[in-house]
Amino acid sequence: MRKRGRELGLPFAGTPGPHNAITDVAGVEVGQVTLISGEGPLKPGAGPVRTGVTAILPRGRSKAHVPCAAGFYSLNGNGEMTGTVWIEEAGELQTPITITNTHSCGVTRDATIRWLVARGVGTGQDWGLPVAAETYDGDLNDINGFHVTAEHTLAALDGARAGPVAMGSVGGGTGMLTYDFKAGNGSSSRMVEIAGGRHTLGVFVQSNFGRREDFTVLGVPVGRHILDGKLRGREQGSVIAIVATDAPLMAHQLKRLARRVPLGLARTGTVGNNSSGDIFLAFSTANEQAFAQRSGRLHMEALSNADLDLLFMATVEATEEAVIDSMLCAETMVGRDGNTAVALPSEELLALMRRYGRM
């Protein structure tokens, strides 16, 4: 198993939670189904398959019926995250989140409704608008073979758990690349002291973006030095980021958190290219009792806007680290037509970090 950045000694800023993952926010659960089969020439419908689905349950399966305050932001809209129009209107996330490949996004959305109905999970009305997001994995995967099914999505939702989160080439991130290295899923968290309270913030990314030459690690221009093994040779792909926190925030404040995700991405080198769908959602698990009450006067607690700076910093730091870990945790992968996405070479990375005085 490849080591994460902190295990290698990379000096990321901030204090992570016990798992350094989005699941450090109490109640959040993550489930993943990974689909890898076949090799050789692409035969649409038969493979090779390098894909999957990730499910994030903001309050876990036992409290999936309780909404969360939420906010949404798109830096560049060349991508999809369903359900966000209602989030913008209502300021609530009322369903689990699924993330997969571009051509399976509708499948996971519809399967989430099936999951909610089959388990009697209400959303506060007679309908549901699940959040399903995507990035493109067609460089390695038979994306037009539609291999992600409703059953895979149900399994990811049913299998969601707290605790450590598998990273790299797993779940929806199975076939993804970042800065033309193999990547996929990454996550990180931060603990912060705000207004007399201790709070946790976690970020999860499905990372699939960036031009090799732009890749930067803690200020070091790594991509200018490691130029071998490029598959795409150009900017292509997208990034989905989910920010979770137990800090009590209102919808407009969570939108402000989502708008800080691009600052963390920029630390890794990207400029948000035209072909990249850079789409972000932030939610808070606070005020559970108020959100469980679907009518009448609601009594909620919220931090003041003046107290948000440490959460902004936590979002930026955790986003940066999650992207780097999505790459460090991924092994080299051969996909359709022999297309090869090379892993970020850890030793070469560390040598560069030492050369630039960053370790």
Enumerate the active-site residues.
Answer: 238, 276, 278
Residue 78 is which amino acid?
A: N
Q: What is the DSSP letter of 336?
A: G
Write out the H or E segment, with its range, that includes residue 223.
helix 222-225
Strand-strand pairing, 276-284 and 237-245: parallel
Other Cβ atoms within 10 Å of 209 Cβ, number: 32
| Cα–Cα dist 68/224, whole Å | 42
**First-last CA distance in the chain:** 23
Asked if residues 55 and 157 have their Cβ atoms less than 8 Å apart, the reply is yes
Q: Which two tokens stand for residue 241?
A: 């980021």
Distances (CA, A) of 188 to 94, 108, 184, 245, 327: 24, 24, 14, 12, 13
Q: Which two tokens stand for residue 188?
A: 């990180």
Strand-strand pairing, 49-57 and 97-101: antiparallel
Strand residues in the chain grouped as ranges (E): 29-37, 49-57, 68-77, 92-93, 97-101, 131-135, 177-178, 181-182, 185-194, 197-208, 237-245, 276-284, 333-334, 340-341
Asked if residues 335 and 139 have their Cβ atoms less than 8 Å apart, the reply is yes
